[in-house]
Amino acid sequence: MNILVGYNASYVAKSALELARKHAKAFDAKVYVMISSEGGSKEKLEDVSQARKELDSAKEFIEQEGVACEVVQMARGLSPGEDLVRFTKEKTIDHLYVGIEKKSKTQKLLLGSTAQYVILKANCPVTTVK
């Protein structure tokens, strides 16, 4: 079994990571932890470096319970939602975990919702954590 966690180091993402770790241990699953950014000229080197540190920390957290973990840092020009959905197909992910944060209607209209995109487009069950 393969589990994917969409991760951005926020409080809710850490909650999703914790739940995924519990389920992975119970089902003897491998956990993939992904941070996605669109990349390009707007991305700063320090942001990429910080994301790597967050991924390393997440991997250590998962592996503390003896769960296999692989971390992935994506910057292939896709939105985080698109990256997560594509990755579920590429790695045959069985379950996807994402944290959700409350946004106003205006924020959703302007920024979109990664969780909403993933829930509607993923080809596997999605668990959202708030």
Q: What domain count does the chain have? A: 1
Residues 6+ apart with CB under 8 A from 108: 116
Kindly list the averaged pLDDT for each block of 10 residues, start to end, along the chain of length 130. Answer: 95 95 98 87 81 96 98 89 95 95 58 79 94
SS3 118: helix
CATH number for the domain including 23?
3.40.50.620
Percent helix / strand / coil, the chain, rounded to 5: 50, 20, 30
Q: What is the pLDDT of residue 92?
A: 95
Which domain does 87 fall in, by range?
A: 2-129
Residue 64 DSSP class:
T
Stated as kind and residue range, the H or E segment containing 105 is helix 105-111
